[in-house]
Amino acid sequence: MTTIPSGVLPVIATPFTEDGTIDEASLRSQIEFAITHGAHGVVLGMVSEVLRLSGAERARLADLTCDAVAGRVSVTTSVGAESTHTAVRLAGQAAGSGADAVMAIPPMATACDDEQLFGYFSALVESIEIPVVVQDASGYLGRPLSIDLQARLYDAYGNQVLFKPEAQPIGPRLSALLAATHGKAKVYEGTGGLALVDSHRRGITGTMPGPDIVWALVRLWRALEDADWDTVNRLQGPISSLVSLQNSLDSFVAVQKHLLVRQGVIRSATARGPVGYVLDKETAGEVDRLFDVLAAAGHPC
């Protein structure tokens, strides 16, 4: 039976040692942190710096993650690549590692039309038996995927294809995709939780935020599921304030690693360079202040 990941699915940061190799102990610590605080699954995605890893490292990261999770929650791994051949190979490796789903951005260096993109995503779906999350990562890079393309993929493959729309405007495009698939598509929120409340009301299956405040996102998700609006209103503001400081791929990486180090989850905030964003002292201070506000509003400890 196909597993469709749902709920709070944090995108794991790839921790590195000071010499730039994957810190396997910190990776396991982070996965335990996410599961202990109620995550329903974990994800390897863009914020995991997968595009800065070699092919062998991406396969190793998937192996390590599936091994650490040990079937307790779902695992979704990123397999997007510049060629269909490489993406299919990565998808096969992820499925062999025990992943429950894969996620793929489209090629970035090629201005693919809808027919080429349909062929790319179709090849992924047909190469494995687990679902493929179609990630419209145009909030970070590239061009938005058309609603027509996504609806065509759903019509062809049903819930073997899942969706993570990140193109602006988030809410209206999410609703347009659901309308185009008669409300049946499984869709994830992908703005770090910034649009979670609005997206939940529109009908999402899950959210893929960062791992650093997973405890807050799990509590917010549960409150939304229970229509506990007092808790929603208490948490939404501090979460939004903190996430709004993260407006690029590298800023998500920097802030999330900073907060994971602060909480003793990983040992170093090192990212692989070159990077387009450096967390300066003043911004780090504001991140810490907003984290304290959020912790006062809803930290379980």
Degrees (nearest 5) of the Cα angle 82, 257, 163? 45
The answer, yes or no, to whether residue 301 has pLDDT greater than 60, is no
Cis peptide before 274 (omega within 30 of 0): yes
| pLDDT (mean) for 237-258 | 96
99, 67 in Cβ contact below 8 A?
no
pLDDT band at 300; cut points 50, 70, 90: low
SS3 282: helix
Q: In the prediction, which pLDDT does 143 show?
A: 83
Under 8 Å between Cβ of 151 and 182: no
Token representation of residue 144: 């938005």
Q: What is residue 110's predicted lDDT score, i.e. its pLDDT?
A: 85
| pLDDT per residue as tens digits for the range 161-177 | 999 999 999 999 999 99
CATH, range 7-298: 3.20.20.70
**pLDDT value, residue 1:** 54
- pLDDT, tens digit, 9 for 90 and up, residues 252-268: 999 999 999 999 999 99
Q: Does pTM top 0.85 for this prediction?
A: yes
Do 164 and 103 meet the contact criterion of CB atoms below 8 Å apart?
yes
pLDDT band at 138 (very low <50, low <70, confident <90, very high): confident
Ranges of each domain in the chain: 7-298
Query: Is the CB of residue 271 less than 8 Å from the CB of residue 14?
Result: no
H or E, element range at 188: strand 188-189
Confidence of residue 102 (pLDDT cuts 50, 70, 90): very high
Give φ, ψ of 131 to 5 degrees: -65, 155
Q: What pLDDT does 114 receive? A: 96
Calculated CA dihedral for residues 188, 134, 185, 42, nearest 10 degrees: -40
pLDDT of residue 299: 75
pLDDT at 181 over 90: yes
Q: pLDDT per residue over 194-213, tens digit each?
A: 999 999 999 999 999 999 99
For range 87-106, the mean pLDDT? 97
Other CB atoms closer than 10 Å to residue 1's CB: what's the count?
3
- Predicted pLDDT of residue 204: 98
